[in-house]
Structure 1
Amino acid sequence: MNSQNGFLLSYIKYGENDAVLHCFTEEDGFQTYFLKGIYTKKNKKKALLRPLSQLSFSINLGRGNGIQSVSKFELVKNNDMYTDIKSNTVIFFISDFLNQILRHENKHPGIFFCIDEFIDELAQQNYQSHLIFLVKILKIQGVAPLVGEGMYLDPETGTFFPSLTHHLFNHETSLLWKSIVSSQNPYQIKINPSLRKQFLDSLLVYYHYHITDFKTPASLEVIQQIFE
């Protein structure tokens, strides 16, 4: 028996009563688990299967290269974010995002802490926290922009230029990028609501350039509608 602490990124119903879970764990990074019987009528724990729930898993040590199975699991930290429509929308977007970009990530305490920190911010109704979080992930991955004297961020090279290179990265948006990348406490930076959509669009452009095989999350349209 092995114990794992992780954030649930996604889950898929398998057959009538079972599920396959994708998680980012503190001990081993991205992991896939088989959960038997979660959808039976008597099993009340299916309510715990929510994106970015922090769960403690007891894992059966299987043989070979098959998917490890969960014998039991418990909620590590409880919060009421899921009753807040804005927070819930952000949670689904970020879990969708992370489920894609962390697929090949091994143990990484920095990323695990960063997710935990982001959830704490969102629990305090910091509705711009996902924008800051996505920049912090770029920094951890080593592909964040290099701050220089230029006024405009070039998303392809990740450097600041004296002249505009991409229409989304105007002076205002580029200055916001520079502020977040440079700040020791970026969650304290206030992003004007009128800038949030363009800044999110600029983040997606940057990820397309710097994260291999990145695809825009399907939940993007929902999060844009919620914050309009």
Structure 2
Amino acid sequence: MIVKSKGIVLSYMKYGDTSIIARIFTEEGGYGSYIVNSIRSQKSKKSIGYFQPFTILDLILYVKETRDLQRVSEFKSHYPLHHIHQDLMKSSITLFLTEVFSKLLQSEQSPNPELYAFAEDSIKIFDQLKDGVSNFHLQFLLKIGPFLGYAIDDIDNVYSSTNRLSPSNENQEIMDMLMKESYGYETKMTREARNDMLDGILEYYQHHAHIAKPKSLEVLRSVLN
């Protein structure tokens, strides 16, 4: 079956001599793994750069329901990204978020158009974002919860299901604002406060979604700090 869909690339791995297996969150099919044939061949007319994290593509997919691994038949850029992959801080945040997002999407192998629209809109905003860049990952993870069925009504919900102590009143107020305000919200916080907030959010998702600790966490922290 041929399926046309937009898709957000999360990661890829080499497959065979010239191909890759890309993990993509698609609007029409949810999260899945797709073979992209001959993209690493010297004769390929398209660059593997199309499969950088958070790239948004227009896809033609060859889908067979009896298979777990599907195939990308054709692809092209849907929305060119100008800053995410060139800026060190943005690229580090992207690497971290695509790892966490992939783990959260393990159960989203059917269409979730509201979640897809949220993710695509967030990526487009992030690419152009000038203020509050260092807070984007916190806002993204706080805002995405309801789309995954993990509603975060207030910050107390984040900490009540973990073994962590609740944050100070000041930090709780900051987290409330990060959750409610649009991307780009600027606020001063210490390195320790930002790390504690992120640890609390990750432990919340580890408790509810049973995800492992992200391997890219320390890289992110070294860049932000």
TM range (shorter): 0.7 to 0.9
For 1:61 and 1:216, the matched residues in 2 are separated by 32
For 1:51 and 1:132, the matched residues in 2 are separated by 19
Q: 1:190 aligns with which of 186, 192, 202?
A: 186
**1:167-190 C-alpha deviation (Å, 9 max, x unpaired):** 362222222333344x2x442532
Which residue in the other structure is 1:141 paired with? 148
For 2:150 and 2:72, the matched residues in 1 are separated by 35
Paired residues in the alignment total: 216
Residues 37-76 of structure 1 aligned to structure 2 (within 5 Å):
37-43=38-44, 44-62=46-64, 64-76=66-78
For 2:151 and 2:168, the matched residues in 1 are separated by 18
For 1:154 and 1:101, the matched residues in 2 are separated by 16
SS in 1 for 2:21: strand
**1:100-139 C-alpha deviation (Å, 9 max, x unpaired):** 1101212112211221222123212341211101001113
Alignment partner of 1:18 is 2:19? yes
1:13 to 1:176, Cα distance in 2 relative to 1, 3 A: same
For 1:210 and 1:26, the matched residues in 2 are separated by 24
Alpha-carbon distance, 1:154 to partner: 6.2
Q: 2:86 aligns with which of 68, 79, 83?
A: 83
For 1:101 and 1:63, the matched residues in 2 are separated by 22
**1:24-50 C-alpha deviation (Å, 9 max, x unpaired):** 111111122111111101223212110
Which residue in the other structure is 1:175 paired with? 173
1:214 to 1:40, Cα distance in 2 relative to 1, 3 A: same
For 1:63 and 1:119, the matched residues in 2 are separated by 29
Alpha-carbon distance, 1:95 to partner: 0.7
Which residue in the other structure is 1:225 paired with? 222
SS in 2 for 1:7: strand
For 1:215 and 1:146, the matched residues in 2 are separated by 24
What runs of 5+ residues in structure 2 fail to find an aligned partner?
A: none
Q: 2:205 aligns with which of 204, 207, 225?
A: 207
What runs of 5+ residues in structure 1 fail to find an aligned partner?
A: 159-164
**1:35-84 C-alpha deviation (Å, 9 max, x unpaired):** 11111012232121100100111122447325221122111111222111
SS in 2 for 1:47: helix
Alignment partner of 1:34 is 2:35? yes
For 2:68 and 2:122, the matched residues in 1 are separated by 32
For 2:5 and 2:178, the matched residues in 1 are separated by 32
TM-score under structure 2 normalisation?
A: 0.86
Alpha-carbon distance, 1:216 to partner: 1.4
Which residue in the other structure is 1:162 paired with? none
* Contact in 1 for aligned 2:22/2:35 (Cα 8 Å): yes
Which residue in the other structure is 2:116 paired with? 112
SS in 1 for 2:106: coil
SS in 1 for 2:206: helix
> AA paired with 1:83?
Q
1:142 to 1:104, Cα distance in 2 relative to 1, 3 A: closer
For 2:168 and 2:157, the matched residues in 1 are separated by 8
* Contact in 1 for aligned 2:161/2:204 (Cα 8 Å): no
1:201 to 1:6, Cα distance in 2 relative to 1, 3 A: same
The share of aligned pairs that are identical, in percent, is: 23
What is the root-mean-square deviation of aligned Cα atoms in Å? 2.3
